[in-house]
Structure 1
Amino acid sequence: MNIKHYLRRAVSLPPHIIIKKMSDKIARKVAFVRRRQHDMKLPTFTEALSSHDKLGSFFKCVPVELLLPHKDWIIAVTEHYLAHRFDLLGSGWVQVRHGMRCRGVEGHVYYAGREVTPDKDGHWLEGRINRANVTESKRIWRFIDGDYSPINWHLDFKSGYLWSGDTWFQDIPYGHEPGVDIKVPWELARMQHLALLVWAYSLSKNGREGFRHYDVYRREFCNQVLDFIATNPPRFGVNWRCTMDVGIRVSNWLVAYDLFKAHGAEFDREFDSLFFKSIYEHGLHIVNNLEWYSQLHGNHYLADIVGLLFVAAYLPRTPETDVWLAFAVQELVEEVEYQFTSDGVNFEASTSYHRLAAEMAVYGTALIMVLPPEKLRALKDYDYRLHRSIPKLRPASMQLYPLEGSEEKTPFPVRYLEKLEKMAEFAMHVTMPDGHVPQIGDNDSGRFLKLQPVYQSMTVAGAKMSYNNLDTYNVFPDDTVYWYEDHADHRHLVAAINGIFQRHDFADFATEKQLEYYIVKSLCNNGRSFSCCSKKKNNYKEHDTSDNGLELYTYPGFGLYIYKSKFLYLAVRCGHIGQNGNGGHAHNDQLSIELAIHGVPIIVDPGTYLYTPLPEKRNLFRSTAMHNTLSVSGKEQNTWHEGRSGLFGMLDQAKAKVVEINTHKFLGEHRGFGTVHRRLLDIHERYIHGFDECNLSEKKTVVFHVAPGVKITMAQRDSRLDLYYGKLRVRLSAETGEWSVHESFHSPGYGIIQNCQLVKLQSTQNSIRWLAEIVETK
């Protein structure tokens, strides 16, 4: 962060807070210097642990019948993984290896390093691993199959930028070069693809055609894990830089390993020993590098906590792991209370981050519910004095609460379980008829586990035509089948949470996502179901039976209001910017709308595209002018600081609020332009009257970001225009102002970008009236 940013922050804080922050920063710097000196001199791999210790086992074998509907894409994507091809964050399916040539990001291309010729004894690692760790790295490499080709875990395989594997983790730079995205190696190193190798293993073992011999998938799991351990010594390289990713990686390792064993796989003693040791090293790293800050702790810290929970649950009991478990349980309960509002919605003002955080919450909860009595005793017997990180661990014993209808007790108060259930309700209510959620706020395509990703098949030519990030893709011929991951389908989250609550409406909504329902249900002792919300009056929903059955779902904790019928879907954004006012993942989207008719998206949010690689694109996609609201020339609803320090924050100047709302009417306002912008929507099933009012002399523009695939025709004299998709036609008209059509962009997932169009209604008047009406239907 630059000096201007610190000065701005300092001016806004009281003196005692400034002194505290400065002393904390100095203390952290001193601690980092000492830790760096230690790690440069001595190996960071831990010494061998007891060979008699074994990891716990929690996940159950999944019936092959639940996997069969997904057989085609499982065959295809696991073939890619066996060849070390990955499609992450808009990369396209590319083989990630040393010496590869990368396509670059919008013209920014870097040298990805030279090819390597790996040898069985690991001599090729010399010069790549720091001197203190290279001996152990070479020893680990000897356990990898001789015909295995190493993955380059330190590479941004989109731009070609290569981080050094012998750089201490806190010295790793990011956001320092154009086009370079540290999220790319982080995403790969989460290793969320490993669980899919289990599904291929199971289908192959059950004699299904199209797969390799089942043991190929087990060996690939072992080789990739050992490859990572050997080439990423603890606290060195890009993949230890962010504790969140360490937590997600170790959770995915443990889930995949546990699922392999549940499906009958066996591992040799050498692998088990190295794997066990690395699990411990991941836990040690997490507890010593928690991403908790007094002023803000969000999804990163939640991932730290759930990752530590998985480590502590699977490792045998010791005084140290007892403390890890108690701390993780304590903090999971605390963070669900802190990070989720009373209506069950994540506090970061993003539908996609709601999905990520809720995934961590449900799998963490399910794991705690399945802990054996011996493990649960740790919550009574731990020594809190052994925990030396911030925040503090409270003294034993931990408070437990009775489960409704059971004599069992858990660490979860009723309020916690209510919020967990409401997380699924929000995901269900916000989902559009086509199964996708609107992209409110940031979308970095982040996930905790990918046990049932959604893939769509198309040709390579179709993918290149649809997505600009793939326009130069040449790995496969144009007529090859291309499997594209759909990042906007959140129904699996509802299915997973329903594994705990087993509600019929959740089951009906997520009927195609039975895999995650079964996995969570089997974790929770085959589904001790209980529901905290279904017996209470739903205060988020209003019915109107007098006019075409419009339903209104209100989520003031998020600032999102959803109107639904069998014919219409309308989402309206109006509320806080998230993260307790930091706005790190919010967009300038106050009073913006999303509209779908007959299940067809018509007016959509443009998405996110990228973070640090191209700051100008980051700011473009979160700007007021890119959202379906009123914009004023040269003004933003909320401003942000210049440079990298401002990419994950904004100043809450809009102070948006709902003035009046019912099933026919929405009236909201914000003050981000220095004066009030008020939007009134008169909502009916076949038309929406809009009225925007803002008393400024500058030119004003009402923007409608049109969904890709929707065509536009302009009427004579620019008095109106039609949006059409097949036989569906929506007409936009206005009493005053001038309509125009412009080229724009849409990003359905992080790093993915496609062409689309946007419609502008421009006027200098302070009041602008417009009408969106359906003139033809499917």
Structure 2
Amino acid sequence: MDIKHYLRRAVSLPPHIIIKKMSDKIFRKVEFVRRRQHDMKLPTFTKALSSHDKLDSFFKCVPVELLLPHKDWIIAVTEHYLAHRFDLLGSGWVQVRHGMRCRGVEGHVYYAGREVTPDKDGRWLEGRINRANVTESKRIWRFIDGDYSPINWHLDFKSGYLWSGDTWFQDIPYGHEPGVDIKVPWELARMQHLALLVWAYSLSKNGREGFRQYDVYHREFCNQVLDFIATNPPRFGVNWRCAMDVGIRVSNWLVAYDLFKAHGAEFDREFDSLFLKSIYEHGLHIVNNLEWYSQLHGNHYLADIVGLLFVAAYLPRTPETDVWLAFAVQELVEEVEYQFTSDGVNFEASTSYHRLAAEMVVYGTALIMALPSEKLRALKDYDYRLHHSIPELRPAPTTLYSLEGSEEKTPFPVRYLEKLEKMAEFAMHITMPDGHVPQIGDNDSGRFLKLQPVYQSMTVAGAKMCYNNLDTYNVLPDDTVYWYEDHADHRHLAAAINGIFQRHDFADFATEKQLEYSIVKSLCNNGKFFSYRSKKKNNYKEHDTSDNGLELYTYPGFGLYIYKSKFLYLAVRCGHIGQNGNGGHAHNDQLSIELAIHGVPIIVDPGTYLYTPMPEKRNLFRSTTMHNTLSVSGKEQNTWHEGRSGLFGMLDQAKAKVVEINTHKFLGEHRGFGTVHRRLLDIHERYIHGFDECNLSEKKTVVFHIASGVKIHTTQRDSRLDLHCGKLKVRLSAETGEWSVHESFHSPGYGIIQNCQLVKLQSTQNSIRWLAEIMETK
């Protein structure tokens, strides 16, 4: 960040906040210098823990009948993983290895390094691992199977950029070269694919056809984990740069390891010893690098806390791990209060980040509920003075609350549980008829655990037609099956949360997601919390319903309003920019809409595409002109700072608010253009009448991004055009202005881009009236 950015931030803050931020920054800098000097001289691998120490176990065996419906894609994707092929952040299925050739990002291609010939003694690691750690790395490598080929964990395997494995983690650069995305190695190193190897192991062990011999999946798990440990010494390399990813990785390791054991796999003593030691090293790294800042702590810090919770829950009790557990429980409760509104919605102003944060909360909550009495005693008796990080740990004991109808006590107050339940309600209410959620705000395709990802099959030819950047498949026959992960289906979140509350409407909504429901329910020992709705009884009102069947779900804490019927789905965005005004994951989408008719998406949000690799594309996809609202030439609803410092923040100039709302009317406004833009929507099942008003002399444009698969037919009359999808036809017309059709882009997931079209209605008048009318239906 440049000096101008800091000066701009400084003048906007009160003096005591400036002093606090400066002191925090100075403390962190001094501490980093001390730690860097230490780590450059001495090994960062810790000494071996007691040979008698063992990890606890929480996850139970998953019934094979819950896995059988997913057999086809489990076979296919685990074959990819055995070959070290991964499809992450728009990469396409690509084998990640040393010396590979990468296709590049937007024309930017880097040299990915030379090929390696690994030897059993690990001599190939010399020159790749810093000198103080190379001896231990070579020792660890000797436990890996001789025919195993190493994964290049330090590589952005899209652009080809390679980070050095012997660079201290705080010295790792990012956002410094065009096309380079540090999220790519981070995403791979989260290792969220490991749990899927368990499902293949279980189905193979139960005699299902199409799988390898079951021990192959078990050995691959061990080899990949040891490969990572050997080539990523603690605090060196790109995969220790971000504590969030350390927390997600260690949680996925522990869940996969626990599930393997629950399904009958056995691990040798050497692996268990190295694995347990690395789990401890992950916990140590997290607690010493917490991403908590006095003015803002979001999903990164939540991942830190939940990752530390998993580590402390699984490791044997010691005074140190007791403090980790107590701190993680304390902060999880605090962060749910801080990061989730009274609506149960995450404060990032992003539907996708709501999913990510809520996943962490539900699995963290379920794990705490699964703790045995011996571990729970740590919450009553711990030495808070052993905690030296910011924020502070309160003195013992942790506050416990009685459960309704039970003598059991938990650290969860009623408000926490109500918010958790509402997290699932939000996911349920905003879901479109096709099972997808609207892309409001950023979507980085981030997940905590991927126990039941949604895969869809298509041919390679179809994939190349749909997605511009899947050209790695030009070496395969066009009729080859391509398995594509659907990032917009959030129903698994409601299923997981329903494992705690066991509500019938959640079960009906997430019928196909029984796997995560079963896993969370078993973690909670089949117990459940009472629904907050049962306390409200007849006074509870979930939503408003009109005479013509339209239901209205309002989420003012997010700034999202959903109109639903059996026929129509309309989402309207109007609210704050998130993160307590920082707007790091918000877009300039105020008064933007998404529309589906009979389950068919018609008008869609274009998504996110990329973050730091292409700053100009980052800013394009979050700009006003890329959203289904009114734009004014040369103006943004909210501005952001130039350069890398402005990529994750914006100034809340719009101050959007809802003026009036009911089941057939929405009236909202914002002030981002220096004057008021007001949008009135008259909503009926067969039509939506829009009225945009903005008193500026500049040219104004009402934009609609049209879903792929919808064809646009223009007519002789410029005042209208027709949108066709099968037998469905939607007519767009206007009293004034001129319609035009343009080429644009749509990003259904991070790093993925496809062609689409957008429609513009341009006018110089201050008032623009338009009509979206359903002419034909299926």
TM-score range, shorter chain: over 0.9
| Alignment partner of 1:649 is 2:645 | no
SS in 2 for 1:306: helix
Separation in 2, partners of 1:43, 1:520: 39
Q: Does the CA contact (< 8 Å) of 2:619 and 2:647 recur in 1?
A: yes
Check 1:472–1:316 CA distance in 2 against 1; reply closer, same or farther (3 A cut): closer
Residue 546 and residue 128 in structure 1: after superposition, are their counterparts in 2 closer, same or farther (change >3 A)?
A: closer
Cα pair 1:464 1:472 within 8 Å, conserved: no
Which whole-Å deviations, capped at 9, do the CAs of 1:698-717 have from their partners, x for residues lacking one?
00000001011110001113
Tell me how far apart the structure 2 counterparts of residues 25 and 63 of structure 1 sit (CA, whole Å): 50
**In structure 1, what is the Cα distance between the partners aligned to 2:413 and 2:18?**
36
Q: Kindly provide the CA deviation profile for residues 217-269 of structure 1, in whole angstroms up to 9, marking residues without a partner as x.
A: 00000000000000000000000000000000000000000000000000000
Q: State the SS of the aligned residue for 2:362.
A: helix
Distance 1:231 1:475 in 2: 31
Q: Distance in 2 between matches of 1:374 and 1:69?
A: 38
The separation in 1 between residues aligned to 2:472 and 2:70, in whole angstroms, is 29
Which deviates the most, 9-18 or 734-743?
A: 9-18
CA deviation profile, 1:575-621 (whole Å, cap 9, x unmatched): 00000000000000000000000000000000000000000000000
**Compared CA separation, residues 662 and 539, structure 1 to 2 (3 A):** farther
- Partners of 2:465 and 2:543 in 1: how far apart? 43
* Conservation of the 8 A alpha-carbon contact between 2:544 and 2:553: no
Residues 542 and 663 of structure 1 are in contact (CA less than 8 Å); yes or no, is this contact kept in structure 2?
no
CA-to-aligned-CA distance 1:550-579 (integer Å, 9 cap, x gap): 000000000000000000000000000000
Question: 1:396 and 1:436 mapped to 2: Cα distance?
Answer: 44
Q: Is the 8 A contact 2:189 2:249 kept in 1?
A: yes
Contact kept? 1:541, 1:551, Cα under 8 Å: no
> How do 1:496-515 and structure 2 match up within 5 A?
496-515=496-515
Q: Secondary structure at the match of 2:203?
A: helix
Question: 1:472: Cα distance to partner?
Answer: 4.9
Q: Deviations over 1:132-178 (max 9, x none)?
A: 00000000000000000000000000000000000000000000000
Structure 1 residue 190: Cα displacement:
0.1
Does the CA-based 8 Å contact 1:541-1:552 persist in structure 2?
no
Superposed displacement of residue 473, structure 1: 3.3
Q: 1:43 corresponds to which residue?
A: 43
Matches within 5 A, 1:693-712: 693-712=693-712
Q: Check the 8 A contact 2:122/2:139 in 1, yes or no.
A: yes
Report the secondary structure of 1:541's partner residue: coil
Give, in whole Å, the separation in 2 of the partners of 1:65 and 1:411: 35
Q: CA deviation at 1:3?
A: 1.4
Q: Is the 8 A contact 1:94 1:475 kept in 2?
A: no
* SS of equivalent to 1:688: strand
Look up the SS of the partner of 1:718 in the other structure: coil
- Alpha-carbon distance in structure 1 between the residues aligned to 2:138 and 2:325: 33
Secondary structure at the residue paired with 1:17?
Answer: helix
Write the deviation string for residues 96-135 of structure 1: whole angstroms up to 9, x where unpaired. 0000000000100000000000000000000000000000
Q: Deviations over 1:491-531 (max 9, x none)?
A: 00000000000000000000000000000000001233421
Q: Shift of residue 24 of structure 1?
A: 2.4
- Match of 2:542, SS state, is strand
Moved more, 26-35 or 382-391: 26-35
Q: Shift of residue 11 of structure 1?
A: 1.8
Whether the aligned pair in 1 keeps the contact of 2:341 and 2:347 (CA below 8 Å) is yes
Offset at 1:179?
0.2
Q: Is the 8 A contact 2:669 2:677 kept in 1?
A: yes
Deviation digits for residues 400-437 of structure 1 (CA, Å, limit 9, x no counterpart): 00111111000000000000000000000000000000
Pick closer, same or farther for the CA change 1:396–1:14 going to 2, 3 Å: same
Cα distance, 1:30 vs. partner?
1.5
Q: Any idea what SS the aligned residue of 1:749 has? A: coil
Matches of 1:648 and 1:188 in 2, distance apart?
Answer: 23
Alignment check: 8 A CA contact 2:101 2:160 kept: yes
Quote how far apart the aligned CAs of 1:344 are.
0.3
Name the CA distance, whole Å, in 1 between partners of 2:472 and 2:518. Answer: 41
Does the Cα contact within 8 Å between 1:200 and 1:211 map onto a contact in 2? yes
Given that residues 543 and 553 in structure 2 are in contact (C-alpha distance below 8 angstroms), is that contact kept between their aligned partners in structure 1? Answer: no
TM-score (structure 2 length as normaliser): 0.99
| TM-score, normalised with respect to structure 1 | 0.99
How far is the alpha carbon of 1:461 from its aligned partner?
Answer: 1.1
Contact 1:154 1:163 in 2 (8 A): yes
Task: Give unpaired runs (5+ residues) of structure 2.
Answer: none
My pick for the range that moved more, 607-616 or 717-726, is 717-726
State which drifts further: 328-337 or 525-534: 525-534
- 2:346 partner SS: coil
Cα 1:762–1:30 shift into 2, 3 Å: same
Structure 1's 19 and 372: CA in aligned 2 closer, same or farther, altered over 3 A? Answer: same
Alignment CA distance shift 1:537-1:299 (3 Å): farther
Tell me the alpha carbon deviations over residues 605-664 of structure 1, each in whole angstroms, 9 at most, x when there is no partner: 000000000000000000000000000000000000000000000000000000000001
Partners of 1:636 and 1:111 in 2: CA distance = 38
Alpha-carbon spacing, 1:8–1:304, altered in 2? closer, same or farther (3 Å) = same
- Conservation of the 8 A alpha-carbon contact between 1:739 and 1:761: yes
- For the residues of structure 1 that align with 2:670 and 2:180, how far apart are their CA atoms? 36
Question: Which 4+ stretches in 1 moved above 4 angstroms?
Answer: 537-546
| C-alpha contact (below 8 Å) 1:542/1:552 kept by paired residues | no
Answer with 573-582 or 541-550: which moved more: 541-550
What is the SS of the residue equivalent to 1:761? Answer: strand
Say whether the 8 Å CA contact 1:93–1:475 is kept in structure 2.
no
Instruction: Kindly indicate whether the alpha-carbon contact (under 8 Å) linking 2:572 and 2:593 is maintained by their aligned counterparts in 1.
Output: yes
Cα contact 1:543–1:550 (8 A) shared by 2: no
Q: 8 Å contact 1:706–1:759 — kept in the other structure?
A: yes
Q: Deviations over 1:270-292 (max 9, x none)?
A: 00000000000000000000000
- In structure 2, the partner of 1:391 is 391
Deviation of 1:10 (Å): 1.5
Are the counterparts in 1 of residues 500 and 527 from structure 2 also a CA contact under 8 Å? yes
Relative to structure 1, the CA distance from residue 326 to residue 157 in structure 2 (aligned partners, 3 Å threshold; closer, same or farther) is: same
CA offset at residue 537 of structure 1?
A: 6.1
The answer as to whether partners of 2:546 and 2:664 remain within 8 angstroms in 1 is no
Q: Where does residue 316 of structure 2 map in the other structure?
A: 316
Deviations 1:319-341 (Å, cap 9, x if unpaired)? 00000000000000000000000
Is contact 1:540–1:555 with CA below 8 Å preserved after alignment? Answer: no
Map of 1:177 onto structure 2: 177
Contact 2:703 2:761 in 1 (8 A): yes
Percent of aligned pairs with the same amino acid: 95
In structure 2, what is the Cα distance between the partners aligned to 1:236 and 1:188?
17
> Using the alignment, how far apart are the partners of 1:65 and 1:694 within structure 2?
58
Contact 1:541 1:553 in 2 (8 A): no
**8 Å CA contact retained: 1:543, 1:552:** yes
Aligned residues: 778
Q: Is the 8 A contact 1:456 1:485 kept in 2?
A: yes
Question: Contact 2:545–2:663 at 8 Å: present in 1 too?
Answer: no
Measure how far apart 1:543 and its partner are: 5.8
Report the more deviating stretch, 711-720 or 450-459: 711-720
Q: Is the 8 A contact 1:743 1:757 kept in 2?
A: yes
The Cα of 1:26 is off from its aligned counterpart by: 2.2
Q: CA deviation at 1:7?
A: 1.4
Structure 1 residue 538: Cα displacement: 9.4
Query: Is the 2:546–2:663 contact (alpha carbons within 8 Å) kept by the matching residues of 1?
Result: no
Partner of 2:412: 412
- 1:440-493 per-residue CA deviation (whole Å, 9 max, x = no partner) reads 000000000000000000111111111011135335322210000000000000
Contact 1:465 1:471 in 2 (8 A): no
Measure the CA separation in 2 of the matches of 1:542 and 1:712: 37
Q: SS of 2:539's equivalent? A: coil
| Contact 2:692–2:767 (8 Å) recurs in 1 | yes
Alpha-carbon distance in 1 for matches of 2:500, 2:237: 39
For the residue of structure 1 that corresponds to 2:589, the secondary structure is coil
Distance 1:722 1:3 in 2: 51
TM-aligned CA deviation for residue 535 of structure 1 = 3.9
Query: In the alignment, what sits opposite 1:30?
Result: 30
Deviation of the 1:542 alpha carbon: 6.8
Separation (CA, whole Å) in 2 of partners of 1:396 and 1:617: 49
8 Å Cα contact 2:94/2:472 also seen in 1: no
Task: Answer yes or no: is the 8 Å Cα contact 2:743–2:758 preserved in 1.
Answer: yes
540 and 698 in structure 1: CA distance in 2 versus 1, 3 angstrom threshold = farther
Q: Distance in 1 between matches of 2:558 and 2:244?
A: 24
Asked if structure 2 preserves the Cα contact closer than 8 Å seen for 1:543 and 1:549, the reply is no
1:474 alignment partner in structure 2: 474
Secondary structure (helix, strand or coil) at the match of 1:696 reads: coil
**2: CA distance, partners of 1:11 / 1:539:** 47
SS of equivalent residue, structure 1 residue 601:
strand
